[in-house]
Amino acid sequence: MQGYELTIALPKGRMFEEAYRALGRAGLSLPERGAAREMLHRGAAVAVLELRNADVPTYVDLGIADLGVVGKDVLAEAGRDLFEPVDLGFGACRLSLIRKPGDSGPIRRVASKYPRVTERWLREKGIAADVVKLHGNVELAVLVGLADAVVDVVETGTTLKQAGLVEVEVIMKSTARLVVNRSAMKLKRERIRALIQRLRHG
């Protein structure tokens, strides 16, 4: 955004807090957080956009934000051409194939919030299955027979257990990444390079 030295896109929720802390520790003077419903936090030199996590790669790719923090899972799903120079370590989770216990029949239909990652994995595995894009409560799809497997985020596995489902295979592991716009990385080199160094070694 014009008028700010840096514009940062962060996903709302828990990762927002952790990213705020990590960037603060790395010496970035972030704006005071405004009201809870605020989407745009304006500081003296830095502006922070609070977004749905899947929108973070879009804002950074199109150069509205110079950099952002987002999970590797979301980044893989977005398929956008960004720099991802730092693994921030927090927000650890995995994308896994989930089924009903004892279900070993062929997979013909998979439901997921991550259709792109799912399709790529199915192709690599040589499984000919349809992918159904869902927006939430993905586990339900396998319980009620919409799909015979789902691909979803697993953090601790508690939710899965409660739903009476099992994690069959880990598709990818994910942690939060610093993502940087291709143009900003170069034009705001001094600032961003120093930030990357501190985040890597901090």
If binding is defined by CB under 8 A, does position 184 make contact with other proteins?
yes
- Pick one of 45, 183, 194, 202: the residue that binds other proteins (CB under 8 A): 183
Tell me how far apart the alpha carbons of residues 80 and 98 are, in angstroms, rounded to a whole number: 26
Query: Based on CB atoms, which residue is closest to other proteins, 99 or 177?
Result: 177
Residue 168 phi, psi dihedral angles, 5° rounding: -90, -40
8 A C-beta contact, residue 167 and residue 123: no
If binding is defined by CB under 8 A, does position 40 make contact with other proteins?
no
Tell me how far apart the alpha carbons of residues 18 and 176 are, in angstroms, rounded to a whole number: 10
| Binding residues for other proteins restricted to 80-109, rule: CB under 8 A | 81-87
| Binding residues for other proteins restricted to 139-168, rule: CB under 8 A | none
If binding is defined by CB under 8 A, does position 194 make contact with other proteins?
no
- Pick one of 14, 21, 133, 186: the residue that binds other proteins (CB under 8 A): 186
8 A C-beta contact, residue 71 and residue 91: yes
If binding is defined by CB under 8 A, does position 32 make contact with other proteins?
no
Query: Based on CB atoms, which residue is closest to other proteins, 14 or 189?
Result: 189
Q: Is 165 helix (H, G, I), strand (E, B) or coil?
A: coil
- The DSSP annotation for 70-139 comes to EEHHHHHHHT---EEEEE---S-EEEEEEE-TT--SPP-EEEES-HHHHHHHHHHHT---EEEE-SS-HH
Residue 116 structure tokens: 């792109």
C-alpha distance across the termini of the chain, in Å = 27
- Pick one of 53, 112, 118, 181: the residue that binds other proteins (CB under 8 A): 181
Query: Based on CB atoms, which residue is closest to other proteins, 3 or 102?
Result: 3
Query: Based on CB atoms, which residue is closest to other proteins, 83 or 121?
Result: 83
| Shortest spacing between CB 79 and other proteins, in angstroms | 9
Query: Based on CB atoms, which residue is closest to other proteins, 15 or 67?
Result: 67
Residue 127 structure tokens: 């499984």
Query: Based on CB atoms, which residue is closest to other proteins, 22 or 98?
Result: 22
Q: Which residues bind other proteins (CB under 8 A)?
A: 1-2, 60-64, 81-87, 180-187, 189, 193, 200
